[in-house]
Amino acid sequence: MLFIFDWDGTLSDSKAKITRAMQLAAQDMGWVPLGDHHIHNIIGLGLPEAIHHLYPEVGLPDRQRLRDAYAAHFLSLDEARPSDFFPGVMDTLLCLKGGGHTLTIATGKSRKGLDRIFGVLGVADFFDATRCADETASKPHPLMLEELLREFGADANDAVMIGDTEYDMEMARRIDMPRIAVSYGAHHIGRLHCYQPELCLDQFDQLLSWEKLAD
């Protein structure tokens, strides 16, 4: 089976760091930082789309300056202490990999950002393929899922999207791909129920109990 994982908020415990970096970037611009819940709402989108959603009235030059400031703050925070995987993530991924499943990533991170953290964590060769928001369409557009399906010659029913936001659930629903939600990420699990996920995980290793793995 083709497993497609979101990164931030699903595998990586990075919500607080993303939030803090965006608030520091706003301070650099001389703006009043937005509250945590506003920033949690845009986690999962590509960075340009996220900034436009947060500050729709701001012109392109200021959005670019905010983008650069955010990237610098996130890098500084992450270099000081790289974001950990959530409990059970690595053991679960190793189990799936050992079972012959294909593991991929579909993320709102940039290619540069994902490659950097892959290098820090030493998992660059662990995933069979990845898609980032700056090299395809941002979530919730399903293009990155469609590209992964084509790469592996798979149908939507032979794959599953695992994520923590409405954007993950929506892009999978648009192409009738099975989806699994996690309850510990950026969006409250109540927001994800309407997308009819196959499972709602409170702990990542509960993924191994999914009945389709026994088929």
Domain boundaries of the chain, sorted by first residue: 2-13+86-214, 15-80
pLDDT of the residue at 175: 98
CA torsion sign for 148, 101, 132, 5 is positive
Count Cβ atoms within 10 A of the Cβ of residue 99 and give its class: 0-12 exposed, 13-18 middle, 19 or more buried: exposed
Which superfamily is assigned to 2-13+86-214 in CATH?
HAD superfamily/HAD-like (3.40.50.1000)
Cα–Cα distance between 11 and 161 in angstroms, integer? 13
pLDDT in tens, the chain (215 residues): 999 999 999 999 999 999 999 999 999 999 999 999 999 999 999 999 999 999 999 999 999 999 999 999 999 999 888 899 999 999 999 999 999 999 999 999 999 999 999 999 999 889 999 999 999 999 999 999 999 999 999 999 999 999 999 999 999 999 999 999 999 999 999 999 999 999 999 999 999 999 777 66
State residue 109 phi and psi, 5-degree precision. Answer: -70, 160
pTM: 0.95
CATH 1.10.20 for domain 15-80: no
First to last CA, the chain: 10
Partners of 129 in beta bridges: 104
- Please state the length of the chain: 215
